[in-house]
Amino acid sequence: MSQVNTKVDKESFLADLSSLIAVPSTKDASQAKEGAPFGPGPLAALEKMLAIGKRDGFRTKMLQGYAGYIEYGPENAEDYIAVLGHVDVVPATGKWAHDPFTVHEENGTLYARGVIDDKGPTMAAYYALKALKDSGVSVKNRIRLVIGTDEESGCECMVKYNELEPMSLFGFAPDAEFPLIFAEKGQIRAWIKLPQAAGDAPIHLTSFYSGERINMVPDHAYAVLSGSEAEKWSTHAQAKLKANQVSFTAEKTEQGVKITVKGKSAHGSEPAGGVNAAFLLAGALKELPIVKEEQAFVNLLADTLNNDFGGERLGIKYHDDVSGELTVNAGVIRFGEEGGTVSLDIRCPIKASLDELTKTLTASVETLGLSIGELGTSKPLYMDPKHPAVQILKKVYEKHMGLKDVELLTSGGGTYAQYLDAGVAFGACMPGYPYTGHQVDEHVRVDDLLLASEIYADAMAELGNLER
């Protein structure tokens, strides 16, 4: 094991992490422009990380606002090891106990949006790189901390990075769990289109709104009912919500009666861990005498998708012996004057055929009289657990944890490792601690991040001399 002084100065670490957390770096496509392709927030967070790297004497590079990197090691080295973190975050929806963009520490636990996904782990990786530099560790390969800005909304940053930069020899993403994830499910991202409502009725579903990101379980939803019988039928819907013990509010607006329900957010790769607010609300609207297009929208949510996290009703249920079950999350749901859309984030086991699944999905949706408006896929990740670099990471982790022969993991979550020819996800969430990314009051133990940094430092030192 390489001789690196891996001890992290907690005060400095927390100061830098707090400054990064303070940048609200949610993607804003409405403000995208050249040099800031995902809006001002992600760019500001990227600039913050690069500024920290420059402060500490590293080589840094900005890549057209899509990504950037901080690098250590011989500048003329042929190969480099990539450590892929991201500084964009999902929206801080729901009711937080504290300001989500101010780090709050309580009993050794940090609370804020991004502390575990992925600003905290990215900062842990940065301090690991700093440990190598401060220790004067000699490496044959360059070690490059790559900082992305669109991981939560499509990973266009990594597509651009791979266009602009050569492929790494090996890499890891500090954006998941320890000990190590060698297989990640593939993804299908589909947007179901629903037609405009036509015809007249005493009650109309004027609008329906739920969710902010395709990879989050929506924790809120609202519907506006209008027409001469809006109050009558809103009372009926409210009675159903009460009977089902759903938290909701109702109010009169200029457009009609607005009903808002509360669910529970969770990561889109584990939809059963949340409570989808859109399903709750749609279930209460099922018996309304609305026009057929509005009814088709409600039925899609209340019947076809409602709590069917394995995709059985869509005909895409699948399981394999490596990565488990297929999962489906309905993340962004909209309905209004121009019709509607329902986004599906489908995580597919690594042995599944994405082409076959998309064909089946499309046919199932057409059977419902609807259509797929937009569809994209991401291939799964599989890395041979016996690969020399994987074994290095495994042994470094075991040494720090005092363990032997740990079992490596598979995941439904997708990381930047999928954009590498050879790579895995490596930490930073410790075994036995809940992963709270995408949730209200996202949190992580500060000591876990500091330990992760020590693990990363030794891993970087070892990988720095990895042979081609």
What H or E segment, with its residue span, contains residue 199? Answer: none
Which residues fall within 8 angstroms of residue 225, CB to CB, at 6 or more apart? 203, 204, 205, 206, 233, 234, 237, 256, 257, 258, 259, 288
What is the H or E stretch that residue 392 is in? helix 388-401
Q: Is the peptide bond before 308 cis (omega within 30 degrees of 0)?
A: no
- Which position among 71, 117, 150, 151 bears the catalytic label? 151
How far, in Å, CA of 153 to CA of 419, rounded?
A: 15
Q: Is 467 a catalytic residue?
A: no
Residues 430 and 427: their CA atoms lie apart, in Å, by 7
* Tokens linked to 295: 């009814």
Going along 230-284, which residue ranges are E strands?
Answer: 248-252, 257-262
309: DSSP letter = T
What are the residues whose beta carbons fall under 8 Å from the beta carbon of 392, sequence distance 6 or more? 459, 462, 463, 466
In contact, 426 and 173? CB cutoff 8 Å: yes
Is 308 annotated in the active site?
no
Question: Is the alpha carbon torsion for 422, 425, 428, 431 positive or negative?
Answer: negative
d(CA 197, CA 200): 9
* Beta pairing, strands 409-411 & 181-184: parallel
Sign of CA dihedral 188, 272, 86, 459: negative
Of 71, 88, 152, 293, which one is the catalytic site residue? 88
CB-based contacts of 188, cutoff 8 Å, min separation 6: 344, 346, 348, 354, 357, 358, 361, 375, 376, 377
The residues assigned a catalytic role are: 88, 151
